[in-house]
Amino acid sequence: MTLQLFLLRHGQTEFSRTNRFCGEIDPPLNAVGLRMADALADSHGATPWTAIYCSPRTRALQTATPLSQRARVPIQIDDGLREIAYGDWEGLTHDEVVARYPEAYTYWSHDPASRGTPGGETAFKVAARATPVIGHLRERYEDGRVLVVSHKATLRIIVCALLGMDVRLFRERISQPVGALTAFEITEAGARLTLHGDVSHLPADLRALEGT
């Protein structure tokens, strides 16, 4: 029995395009992001999905909806899949944060896993709520194809957990571009990474964009 687990980062927003801290704030997809969502549905809509799980944030739901409609598989929302909260830094660029919070930025950047932003979450807190979601999926679906639609930091943390890596490495060792798919095969023996940061389902003009 093998579970095919696919992890999808939502499509582009104006905040991802301009590389702003974006966790709890809830921007919608921009025009490019909507095209990414449609491209995903065009490429994978005929796939026999067993289930689709999604963060409650608008940008994630907008990304999942076209595929859900095409595949006729309902979206199941799980709050554990929401993005890491950035507190006082929400909506700011890195340069703005460095200028306004130089000491806090230096402190956080040396260990973003165990040191949260002012008023925000640590990566360990995200792991504590996100990895149980994956554990639930592993228990509920012994086989089939399950899609999880979430966010950059949350997915990088989940990937670290599935690979048995130290969560402290989530920012420096794991990438997850907008609209990209990462996949694991999960058996009784554990999780094996089979695809990472794949954007082959996107049109060529959407595969290398500004931002993050």
Give catalytic residues, as residue numbers: 10, 83
Rounded to 10°, the helix 31-44/58-71 angle is 30
């992001």: which residue's tokens? 33
Kindly state the tokens that stand for 120: 């925000």
Question: Which are the contacts of 39, defined by CB distance < 8 A and separation ≥ 6?
Answer: 179, 201, 202, 203, 206
Q: How far apart are the C-alpha atoms of 207 and 131, rounded to whole Å?
A: 28
Question: Which are the contacts of 28, defined by CB distance < 8 A and separation ≥ 6?
Answer: 13, 58, 59, 62
Which string of b and e fits 126-156 if b means at least 16 CB within 10 Å?
bbebbbebbeebbeebeebbbbbbbbbbbbb
Neighbours of 73 (CB within 10 A): 20
